[in-house]
Amino acid sequence: MRGVFLAILLLGLSTRVQAEWQLKPFIGLTFGGGTNFFEDIEHQAGKRKPAIGLTTALLWEIFGIEADVGHMSGFLDDPEQSLIIKSGVTTVTGNALVAMPRRISQYSLRPYFVAGAGMIRSTATSSPPGVFELNRTFTAIDIGGGVTGFLGQRLGLSWDVRHFRNVNRDPNVDERFSFWRANMALAIRY
């Protein structure tokens, strides 16, 4: 709690340093996923699946905050099998961000680290209907990092890798759901 208060105080005291907003629509892939709360009989959770989303960040000289929303369609689908006909995973997280100081990185790649919490929503529908249905929302944490480089005053590119996993609310229940996401984004600074 003291660390959060200190970070807010430091951000508030740095009046000479202007914060910048970054908007990053992204495309990417998920990989290395796994779960134990249902039988992944088609072994799809660990395979690469396409992802899209949007990250918005407010970044000062070193510290910042961000909101990240991502969606992966077909997370549990297998085109060669017919049990699960439609599935998806949506993540929504709020993160703390620590970046290389702007005065050091200037016009080169600026590395950053993110960590936060939010939720993972997972859905799946089977054929025939009713054999398998999944509609769960989990508390989640994420951690990762990346680099952003601007090609001009306003536009740039960003590359990012993050790990998402659920957090068990009940210590007597061992439910695991996790995956990695790697993405590339168009970075818009304003």
Decide if 110 contacts 149 (C-beta within 8 A): yes
What 3-state DSSP class applies to 138? Answer: strand
112-138 burial, b if ≥16 CB within 10 A, otherwise e?
bebebebebebbbbbeeeeebebeeeb
| pLDDT score for 3 | 60
pTM to 2 decimal places:
0.81
Domains of the chain, by residue range, sit at 18-189
| pLDDT score for 51 | 96
In order, the DSSP letters of 129-142 are TTSSEEEEEEEEEE
- Please name the residue that has the structure tokens 């990762």: 144
The Cα–Cα gap between 101 and 9 comes to 18
Q: What is the architecture, at CATH level 2, of domain 18-189?
A: Beta Barrel (2.40)
Q: How many residues does the chain have?
A: 190
105-154 tens-digit pLDDT? 776 899 999 999 999 998 877 776 666 677 889 899 999 999 999 998 89
If pLDDT is split at 50, 70 and 90, which confidence band does 188 have? Answer: very high
Distance of CA 136 to the CA centre of its chain: 18
**Mean pLDDT value of segment 44-55:** 85
Phi-psi map region of 7: left, alpha, beta (phi>0 left; psi -120 to 50 alpha): alpha
How large a percentage of the chain has pLDDT more than 70? 75
64-99 tens-digit pLDDT? 999 999 999 877 766 666 667 778 899 999 999 999
Alpha helices in the chain (DSSP H): 2-13, 102-105
